[in-house]
Amino acid sequence: MSRVSSVIVGVCLVVAMAILGAQLANALVEFKTWDRVVTVKGLSEREYPADHVIWPIQFTEASNDLGALYTTIESHSNTVKQFLLDAGIAEGEVSIGKPEITDKLAQQYGGNNNAEFRYSAIQTVTVFSENVEKVRTVMNSISALLKEGVVLSVQQYNAQTEYVFSRLNEVKPQMIEEATLNAREVAQKFAKDSESRLGKIKQANQGQFSISARDNHHPHIKKVRVVSTIQYTLVD
């Protein structure tokens, strides 16, 4: 009986070692497979119209009488606001800022002693609206304010119109899916060319979304872009 038991134990040990060896071999193959990867990038790029517009309307005034300057600023601010209301812009979409007054004689450095006017002012009336196309139409008739004596400052950097696309969270899921599918197509082509099969995703990076104007002539059309980086395993 002891001899039979020894034989049984020996057979069991041999079988166990064989199973363990097979498992180790499979694990080693899987480990090597996990090491064979391909890293690809997937692109999703779409165009959307801006859904908000910020339109600062700046004008300048100058005078030697500070009180008269403030009176003129207030009058022209009301003129600009009324122009916007008459054009169909809602009153709640128009705001009048505080004027920026410069006293040339009070400046630290000289050079302004011969200036015609001691005081100069920049005033900004801002339109913030969701009705982008309506505002764009009104922009084309802004020169009518010149006839009212409003001297517009169109070259100021902080007077540039800004178009905003605020619905990024709505389009993110579809764009991420599109970028992922694009990356998988590239990876499958690579696997096919290398006579392999595409395995599981080993690592993925969604990437950063970017929003920019489509071009200089269409700033109200936004180009939304995302590049996802995905790493797949390759299987023989």
Note whether 42 and 65 are same-domain residues. no
Long-range contacts of 106-109 (CB under 8 A, 24+ apart): none
Measuring CA to CA, how many Å separate 213 from each of 1, 27, 52? 88, 51, 13
- What CATH code is carried by the domain that includes residue 69? 3.30.70.2970
HEC secondary structure over the chain: CHHHHHHHHHHHHHHHHHHHHHHHHHHHHHHHHHHCEEEEEEEEEEEEECCEEEEEEEEEEEECCHHHHHHHHHHHHHHHHHHHHHCCCCHHHEEECCCEEEEHHHCCCCCCCCCCCCEEEEEEEEEEECCHHHHHHHHCCHHHHHHHCCEECCCCHHHCCEEECCCHHHHHHHHHHHHHHHHHHHHHHHHHHCCCEEEEEEEEECCCEEEEECCCCCCCEEEEEEEEEEEEEEEC
pLDDT of residue 34 exceeding 50, the answer is: no
Q: Is residue 22 part of a domain?
A: no
* pLDDT tens digit sequence for 61-78: 999 999 999 999 999 999
- pLDDT at residue number 153: 83
Note whether 91 and 112 are same-domain residues. yes
- pLDDT at residue number 8: 58
Note whether 57 and 160 are same-domain residues. yes
pLDDT of residue 225 exceeding 50, the answer is: yes
Q: Is residue 220 part of a domain?
A: yes
Q: Is residue 211 part of a domain?
A: yes
What phi and psi values does residue 167 have, to the nearest 5 degrees?
-100, 30
Domain count for the chain: 2
Residue range of the domain that includes 73: 52-164
Query: Mean pLDDT across the stretch 90-103?
Result: 95
Note whether 141 and 155 are same-domain residues. yes
Q: What is the pTM of this model?
A: 0.76
**Greater confidence, 185 or 115?**
185
Residue where one domain finishes, among candidates 148, 164, 180 = 164
pLDDT of residue 150 exceeding 60, the answer is: yes
Q: Is residue 24 part of a domain?
A: no
Residue where one domain finishes, among candidates 113, 144, 164 = 164
Instruction: Name beta bridge partners: 162.
Output: 54
Note whether 63 and 133 are same-domain residues. yes
- What CATH code is carried by the domain that includes residue 190? 3.30.110.170
Mean per-residue pLDDT of the chain: 86
Residue where one domain finishes, among candidates 109, 135, 164 = 164
Note whether 105 and 41 are same-domain residues. no
